[in-house]
Chains A and B, each alone.
Chain A
Amino acid sequence: MDSRLEFAKSEPIWNTNNRVFSIIAGLIILLFALPLFGMNSFYLHLFIMIFMHAVMAQSWNVIAGFSGQISLGHGAFFGIGAYATSFFYMEYGITPWISIFFGMFVSAIFAVLIGIPMLRLSGHYFAIATLLIGISFQVVFQRWDLVGAASGLWVTMTPEDSWFALQFHSSKVPYYYVFLVFFLITFFLVWLLSRSKLGYRLRAVRDDPQAALSLCINVSNYKIIAYVISAMIMAPMGSLFAQYILIIDPDRVFNIEISIIVLLITVLGGIGNVWGPIIGASILVPISEYSRIYLGGTGGAVDLIFYGLILMIICIFRPNGLISFIPKDILERKKQR
């Protein structure tokens, strides 16, 4: 009896599969090296969009996948991030490297303000409430003169490429690396989160709030913590996106489509799984970009039809997302040996 316990204690807590680690390390090196091989502008853009959407989906994954609260208004934090950097650079000349944190901070404040009343609502009510809040942000910014109302902000262009202003006109390569680094940092932090005490407790809140309460877990507080973390992941992507396109307006950065696409990517890839958003973004973003190329401006709607189709197939045949094709003991915790 005791020997079995000793054996169980001697097991590693996490399945450290060296092969998986070397594959991931190899992929990271490859991603850093890719632009050196002279990728054209389209492929740089494609990868930038994949990185950005993977992080956005990861943000949604933290609140929906880890803590079980479906938010349909996550675009609000994306927009706050976008406006924070653009506005403070234009008005006060503050570098986006600083105001990006301001965007995160404001998003965190809003997450608390929205979270305290709304996360007491359960299930569908939270989803509906966040949907309306997301839309209301768009409406407010459309009418707010200080930030350019409906015509938005046209960020003052620097004459040359500038790391201070985070603007690059001659090449997309610097953007590629900035997005890549944010992408890697975010995924590393969320990976750590999923393996931490907080990660365990969030999953408890998701799976059974009542049981969580019986285990000293303040369910409302943990939901708010997840919502704040999620908002703080989303905001920098808005900031970087604003620096990438340099023209932002409420219809673009507060669009309901943003809130929906992060959901689609996460569900496709695998909700509640750290790797899900990467897989989802790697598939959905190219579909979106290619349909835009081949179908022109009208392609915007066609990719949504594709999404819908793929999502239906996934929900019916693979409710745990594409990640479920990979055996669990390879990536995550192991089962019975």
Chain B
Amino acid sequence: MKILTVENLSKSFGGIHANRDISFDVEEGSILGVIGPNGAGKSTLFDLITGFTKPDTGKVRFFDKNIFGISPDKISNLGVGRTFQKLKPFADQTLLENVMIGAFVKEKDIKRARDRALEIIDFVDLIEKRHHFAKELSTGQRKRLEMARAMAIDPKLLLMDEVTGGVDQKTIPGLVELVKKLKKTGVTIITIEHNINIIMEISDNVLALDQGKRIAFGEPKEIQNNKLVIDAYLGTFDAA
């Protein structure tokens, strides 16, 4: 069953087409990797799907529900969680409090929200850090915090913007394992990722963007051999 269907989604800022006629869909329980050079429109696409930016035209459906242009709190309430490329932890609050704020969506009672938050913190392997303030955590730990916080709302679909961006090489495998572990819980994942090896390893499907347009969409193998993708992205990637 399709969990997300995007058709001809477009958004321009002034004269710049950040997203132009983008179409794709996501199968429930799968991982979709989104790749593309800087400025390709990946984060804009996330903002359009999650309601943080109002799209100009197109269609966005979550299961059967039209979520085109509705507000981000309503979209998250339907079961769409997200993390941010530029991390947004509640800095002056503890890890536990951060996750509890998400957990309150499902649990009204404070004790149960706390216990739910602790279980998720345990899932992302940060239980020892639960009383640390978010600002005291490392970047890798704050990525886990954001994942835990988004998971706390019990999303059906989770959009993760650069899980492995900005962390050192040693931290990356742990985060990748966490994404795989997440998938096993049944949640559908869309992830923006620059590391092409990771994308090929974890994704069921890949969406490649360039200059706001979709240049390829399909299984990782097809994408790897797609000439447009190689020209726009992989070629430069290998050279770098």
Q: Are B102 and A210 in contact (CB under 8 A)?
A: no
Q: Are B104 and A201 in contact (CB under 8 A)?
A: yes
Interface residue from B71, B82, B100 paired with A200 (Cβ < 8 Å) = B100
Most buried by A among B73, B100, B111: B73
Q: Are B82 and A214 in contact (CB under 8 A)?
A: yes
Task: Annotate A223-235 by CB proximity to B: 1 below 8 A, 0 otherwise.
Answer: 0000000000000
Residue B193 is within 8 A (CB to CB) of chain A in the complex? no
- Given the complex, which residues of A lie within 8 Å of B104, measured CB to CB? 197, 200-201
Q: Are B94 and A333 in contact (CB under 8 A)?
A: yes
Min C-beta distance of B239 to chain A, whole Å:
36
Residue A335 is within 8 A (CB to CB) of chain B in the complex? yes
- Given the complex, which residues of B lie within 8 Å of A195, measured CB to CB? 110
Q: Are B131 and A5 in contact (CB under 8 A)?
A: no
Interface residue from A203, A208, A216 paired with B77 (Cβ < 8 Å) = A216
Q: Are A214 and B81 in contact (CB under 8 A)?
A: yes
Flag the segment in B20-28, B33-41, B85-93 that touches A.
B85-93
Q: A195 to B113: give the CA distance in the assembly, Å.
A: 13
Residue A298 is within 8 A (CB to CB) of chain B in the complex? no
Within 8 A of A (CB), among B93-147: 93-94, 97, 100-102, 104-105, 108, 110-111, 113-115, 118-119, 121-122, 127-128, 130-133
Min C-beta distance of B88 to chain A, whole Å:
4
Min C-beta distance of B65 to chain A, whole Å:
15
Task: Annotate B9-45 by CB proximity to A: 1 below 8 A, 0 otherwise.
Answer: 0000000000000000000000000000000000000
Closest to A222 in B: B73
Min C-beta distance of B106 to chain A, whole Å:
10
Interface residues on A, range: 20 to 34
Given A200-B101, A216-B77, verify A211-B90 contact (CB < 8 Å). Answer: yes
Most buried by A among B82, B90, B92: B90
Closest to A197 in B: B104
Q: A9 to B102: give the CA distance in the assembly, Å.
A: 17
Given A196-B110, A197-B108, verify A215-B92 contact (CB < 8 Å). Answer: no
Given A335-B132, A336-B131, verify A13-B114 contact (CB < 8 Å). Answer: yes
Given A201-B104, A207-B93, A208-B88, verify A4-B73 contact (CB < 8 Å). Answer: no
Q: Are A215 and B149 in contact (CB under 8 A)?
A: yes
Interface residue from A5, A207, A337 paired with B127 (Cβ < 8 Å) = A5
Residue A334 is within 8 A (CB to CB) of chain B in the complex? yes
Q: A335 to B92: give the CA distance in the assembly, Å.
A: 12
Residue A8 is within 8 A (CB to CB) of chain B in the complex? yes
Residue B48 is within 8 A (CB to CB) of chain A in the complex? no
Interface residue from A196, A200, A211, A336 paired with B89 (Cβ < 8 Å) = A211
Chain B residues with CB under 8 Å of chain A are 50-52, 71-73, 76-77, 81-82, 84, 88-94, 97, 100-102, 104-105, 108, 110-111, 113-115, 118-119, 121-122, 127-128, 130-133, 149-150, 152-153
Extra contacts besides A197-B108, A200-B101, A215-B153 (13): CB < 8 Å: A5-B127, A8-B122, A9-B115, A195-B110, A200-B104, A207-B92, A208-B91, A213-B71, A213-B76, A214-B52, A215-B102, A216-B153, A335-B133
30 sampled A-B residue pairs with Cβ under 8 A: A1-B127, A4-B122, A13-B111, A200-B100, A200-B104, A201-B101, A203-B93, A207-B90, A207-B93, A210-B72, A211-B84, A211-B89, A211-B90, A213-B52, A213-B71, A213-B72, A213-B73, A213-B76, A214-B50, A214-B52, A214-B72, A214-B82, A214-B150, A216-B76, A217-B101, A219-B73, A333-B94, A333-B131, A335-B131, A336-B132
Chain A residues with CB under 8 Å of chain B are 1, 4-5, 8-9, 13, 195-197, 200-201, 203-204, 207-208, 210-219, 333-337
